[in-house]
Chains A and B, each alone.
Chain A
Amino acid sequence: MRHSTYLFCAVALTLAPGAALAQAVPLGDPAQGAELYQQECAACHQIGEGAEHRIGPKLNRIFDRRAGSLEFDGYSEALPRQGRDGLHWDFPRLDAYIANPRSLVSGTNMGYPGLEDAGERADLIAFIRAFSDRPQDIPEAAPTAFAPEVQLPAEVLEIEGDAEYGEFLSASCTTCHQRSGDHAGIPGIVGWPEEDFVVAMHAYKQELRPHQVMQSVAQRLDDEEIAALAAYFRALRRE
């Protein structure tokens, strides 16, 4: 089932990419997604007619919306910051966020561990998407194009970072990010779990995360170098 969903998308894009962009491609099964929503999301997020903010903001019309832009008091500092930098909720970013919220927004308040299965995420997003503008109704609505895989392969996550190399490379980080971990104006990066660091840097490298300086920094780091930095900063302690 999951498999066939993927195959369908791949075929649609391969055979007729123009058509796939112009029409809403059924990315997943919204009925499955509705069940998943009840299990995974509903405790914090309402959606649909009469939805209100609860622990998390309501998710109506989330597609194409700037991150952290609702009148909602529970946002972290980080989410509206990324929104101002340009983070909008399109398919690949929602997918990355649901897969691992901290990969996209390190300081998010969303205490959700992430949904590993890409097919389940596609189902879930298909369900959530039904509550936003859809291209078949409003052609200006956000496209439903399926994005390239954004998950990191296990071997990238498993690279053991060379902390000594990381210390050298970190010099280009500490011009802005203080070694003490202080974070006024620029977020602190000291003591992060390595995996968070690695996925965050890859999210910048793939331009899923919006910040210009960070995209520029990340683009020239290879997998080993990102792992090296992660190992170095993991070992630093906040002062």
Chain B
Amino acid sequence: MKLNRRRFLGSATAASAILSAPALLGNARPRVVVIGGGSGGGTAARYLATDSNGALDVTLIEPSRMYYTCYFSNLYLGGFWEFDALGHDYGNMAMSGVNIIHDWAMAVDRDAQTVSLGAGGTVPYDRLVVSPGIDFVDGAVPGWDVSQQGKMPHAYKSGTQAQLLKSQVENMREGGVYAMIAPPNPYRCPPGPYERISMVAHILSERNPTAKILIVDPKENFSKRGLFEEGWNRHYAGMVDWIGPDFGGDNVEVRPDDMEVVIDGMVESVDVCNVIPAQKAGKIADLAGLTNDAGWAPVMPQDMRSRMDDNVFVLGDASQQGAMPKSGYSANSQAKVVANVIRGELTDSRIFPARYSNACWSLIATDDGVKVGASYEPGEDEIESVSSFISETGEDAELRRQTYEESIGWYNGIVDDIFG
């Protein structure tokens, strides 16, 4: 009941804002601003613009002119995908009616309902969608901060970091050691670090077969573990060593200048060190006052509406919504729910009950693809899984090849859905 009342008040405020805000004089169209042009924000912007047929004024604020997807950047690392094929520009999104501002969103004034830009000036909104992805938690891995990313790359935001890591792996000395400092939960793309291990192992087994891979992991368990371990044994026997918390995987320090990793007091010399630190919501979510003590932006399960502000929605990796993993697929799925709700609230179109879904494909070796996924619905307090599936160990090679081909179909499908 309290929620309904708040929502009612929220929309009344929005209506009066339209009448009073000077920037809106002579512009009757309700304004939606989207911060972040990735899988969440990009999808939301495009769907809002397309589905409303111009009834909404949709502005996307995204600093990059070219978006490089994180998904499939591991395949690039493994030599299965071209770097250029990870990049997508915003040309078609602009053609679909989204006003695109390539700049940083510096702050959000939630009382005035404006977003201020790096180059100066503000953009007013009636509804705001915040989809900034992740940032790293300061001090999560002692000895590492972003200033060290040139020596010990995270490669967890695609783009140049992915290129750097690939070059380091390819140029590693014969018989060298690749170490990954894996992140604690929750983090972007749960199978991602382990797919990356598979791709690094693939390159090394071809170019540098005496090299070793060390995973230093604070978690007791990880996504698709049975499938990955089966694959590592089958394709890369003896190459991959996983150090879980029982053996000090949760007590690690790095020394970038010396290329050393200290695991539970034991010093290991390494040749490549891929540090994937603990994560939190992208900075603008925090600056906008949308995050909680855990560093994520809590949202309502019905529509991804911020628990801090009825006029704001938070999508994708930055949100804390319940059972959905932080993935591009999840963000894309959430964005469609948000687009439907915002359009309904601002243009009186129909609002349908939320449906969410996710699937994650991972490549273990050439033509050896696996997948995991689930359907989700809003529960009382958070989004809940209603059914799930996962590839099985021991599947035949033909099915695994088909699953890999399916993942390529999915990639082409989702980037077409977002970027056109």
Contact = CB atoms under 8 A, between A and B. Distances in A.
Interface stretch (B76-84, B230-238, B404-412): B404-412
A107 B371 CA distance: 24
Contacts of B389: 212-213, 215-216
B374 A171 contact: no
B413 interface: yes
A168 B340 contact: yes
Contact of B387 (A183, A184, A216): A216
A61 to B, nearest CB: 20
A216 B413 contact: no
B416 A184 contact: no
Interface in A143-197: 164-165, 167-169, 171-172, 174-180, 182-186
Contacts of B355: 169, 172, 220
A169 B264 CA distance: 50
A212 B387 CA distance: 11
A32 interface: no
Given A85-B399, A164-B350, A185-B409, A217 B375 contact: yes
B412 to A, nearest CB: 7
Contact of A175 (B352, B405, B413): B413
Contacts of B336: 168, 171-172
A164 B344 CA distance: 13
B90 interface: no
B302 interface: no
A180 B420 CA distance: 10
B410 A186 contact: yes
Contacts of A164: 350
A81 B401 CA distance: 11
Interface in B333-348: 333, 336, 340
Interface in B211-227: none
Interface residues on B, range: 35 or more
Given A85-B399, A168-B352, A217 B413 contact: no
Given A172-B333, A179-B417, A219 B375 contact: yes
B398 interface: yes
A81 B409 CA distance: 14
Nearest to B340: A168
B387 A178 contact: no
A174 B414 CA distance: 7
B387 A220 contact: yes
A216 B388 CA distance: 7
Contacts of B350: 164-165, 168
A45 interface: no
B412 A178 contact: yes
Contacts of B366: none
Interface centre among A85, A176, A178, A217 (most CB of B within 10 A): A176
Nearest to B358: A175
Contacts of A212: 371, 373, 389, 391
Interface in A10-57: none
B352 A186 contact: no
A175 B410 contact: yes
B62 interface: no
A176 B411 CA distance: 7
Interface in B307-357: 329, 332-333, 336, 340, 350, 352, 355, 357
A84 interface: yes
A196 B156 CA distance: 43
27 contacts: A81-B402, A86-B399, A168-B336, A168-B340, A169-B355, A171-B333, A172-B336, A175-B413, A175-B417, A176-B414, A178-B412, A178-B413, A178-B417, A180-B416, A185-B409, A185-B412, A186-B409, A212-B373, A213-B371, A216-B357, A216-B373, A216-B388, A219-B375, A219-B387, A220-B377, A220-B386, A220-B387
Given A175-B413, A185-B412, A186-B413, 5 more contacts: A164-B350, A165-B350, A174-B413, A176-B413, A220-B355
Chain A to chain B: the 4 pairs with minimum beta-carbon distance, closest first: A185-B409, A186-B409, A171-B336, A212-B389
